[in-house]
Amino acid sequence: EEAKKIIIVEDPALPAAVNIKIRDSVQNRTKRIKVSGWVHRLRVQKQLVFITLRDGTGYLQCILAESLAKTYDALTLTVESTVTIYGVISPIPDGTHAPDGHELHADYFKVIGKAPGGDETITNIVAKDADPQTKYDNRHLVIRGEQASAILKVRAGVLRAFRKTYEDLGLLEVTPPCMVQTQVEGGSTLFEFNYYGEKAYLTQSSQLYLETCLPALGDVFCIQESFRAEKSLTRRHLSEYTHIEAELAFINFDDLLSHLEETICRTINNALSDPLIAGYIAELNPTFKAPARPFLRMTYADAINWLKERNVPNENGQPHEFGDDIAEAAERNMTDEIGLPIFLTRFPVEIKAFYMKKDPADLRVTESVDCLMPGVGEIVGGSMRMEGLEELMEGYKREGISPEPYYWFTDQRKYGTTPHGGYGLGLERFLAWMCDRFTVRDCSLYPRWTGRCTP
Ligand code: 4AD
């Protein structure tokens, strides 16, 4: 009752407050500032209210003291309410803890929007131990959390790091279409839709379009969403994911592997050279170390032997034989035991896509590579591409693909063909590895998988 009567106004005798974001709080110590954000944490004591304020750029400890602590707004404050707080930021004594080692002593504050308390308190809606479905239903609230937002910040940092790598290596960024009429990675995972009465698909990969850019723009890359109607629910399959793809002309298979290793290692260095990003990675994955070079290279045939020797069964529960797909479980078995990035090379023609170049030294296999990472498995798939027209026509036939809609892709072999190759890297898988997440779902802003297209 008494609290309701205490109304505080801003003291007109104080200097005007400079509006800041929390990331700029260190350089704005000692002057009077105002800062707006969400109440991330809250501790109400008799004479003091401690707020950890969050504005997306950082966290700031704020203190409401004396009469401010006794106002109705202070006493009824809830987490996730929005506030603007005015005052001066000063360092805190050594041995005490607060973000950036300082705190804001408020001389005035305003509530912008009050969040519900009680049953509807955010921590009740998405409790730490809530079941995963509840958490994904409330993904819009979960991303406010420290861990979820840290992953999204690493994601932004890694995207920046990839772009810098490609810029430094001289690849040009392009943005191919997402609505297409050709498949790349097999008909079974195509999302089909009605395009003005014609059959069209959401793209599975921009590879074929990147290939057409080589004669026009030189080496290229793209960062684009890819779509896969995956039937299986696994912790590394999404229905929509961010696909980082590159294509290079006049290279051989060894050049492709070197470029891929260079791209991955440079990107990790670029990301870690940002202290904020390095800090988030250290929090999420304290034992993360940039991988040593060169990456282990292993042929598919050697991998099959490796699995056979260790009695790791294939998908049908039988011993592995040359020609088998290496399923997720078997792959994980390898990466977990070896514990290092692996370039798995030279997969059989039959289990790979129609466009892959055969190894001239062994026509049973392709010049193909998967990059496997511990904890996640395959994060990259790439290959050299067929250069010859005849060979490509056979490839279409083998896979039962009608060549007509691919006329523009076929034309690359007609109008000045070149040896060339490229790859696609799944950003969410890369992040799951870097941030040590159990599932790629937590590395996507709003993940989509079988049965989930919301929020
Ligand atoms: O191995 P994939 O299918 O290769 C291609 O699409 C090539 N056309 C790429 C190219 O050469 N330009 O997919 C490449 C990568 C995989 O290694 C994986 O990291 C990721 O894309 N990926 C997925 N990530 C999440 N959910 C899915 N359903 C994925 N399918 C593939």
pLDDT at 5: 60
Pairing of strands 362-366, 358-359: antiparallel
Residue 356, classed as helix, strand or coil, is: strand
Distance, C-alpha 398 to centroid of its chain = 35
pTM over 0.90? The answer is yes
| Closest residue by Cα to residue 40 from 98, 97, 80, 76 | 80
Ligand 1 pocket test: which of 226, 355, 385 has the largest number of ligand atoms within 8 Å of its C-beta?
226
| Cα gap 218→170, rounded to integer Å | 9
For residues 429 and 371, what is the distance between their CA atoms, to the nearest angstrom?
11
| Torsion sign, CA atoms 255, 257, 258, 259 | positive
Atom 27, ligand 1: which residue's CA is nearest? 237
Length of the chain: 455
Residues with CB under 6 A from ligand 1: 184-185, 205, 207, 228, 230, 237-238, 241, 243, 245, 378-382, 422-426, 428-429, 440
Question: Which of these, 138, 121, 109, lies nearest to 10 by C-alpha position?
Answer: 109
Question: Mean pLDDT, to the nearest integer, of 389-395?
Answer: 95
Pairing of strands 172-173, 220-227: parallel
Higher-confidence residue: 203 or 127?
203
Cα separation of 267 and 124, whole Å? Answer: 39
Atom number of ligand 1 nearest to Cα 380? 17
Mind listing the pLDDT tens digit for each residue in 6-42?
778 999 999 999 999 999 999 999 999 999 999 999 9
Instruction: Report the Cα 449 to chain-centroid distance in Å.
Output: 15
* Among 80, 73, 75, 79, residue whose Cα is nearest residue 111: 73
Q: Tens digits of per-residue pLDDT, 267-309?
A: 999 999 999 999 999 999 999 999 999 999 999 999 999 999 9
Q: What span, in angstroms and rounded, lies between the C-alpha atoms of 30 and 90?
A: 6
Mean pLDDT of the chain: 95
What is the predicted pLDDT for the residue at 94?
A: 87
Helix (H, G, I), strand (E, B) or coil at 407: helix
- The helix (run of H) or strand (run of E) holding residue 331 is helix 328-338
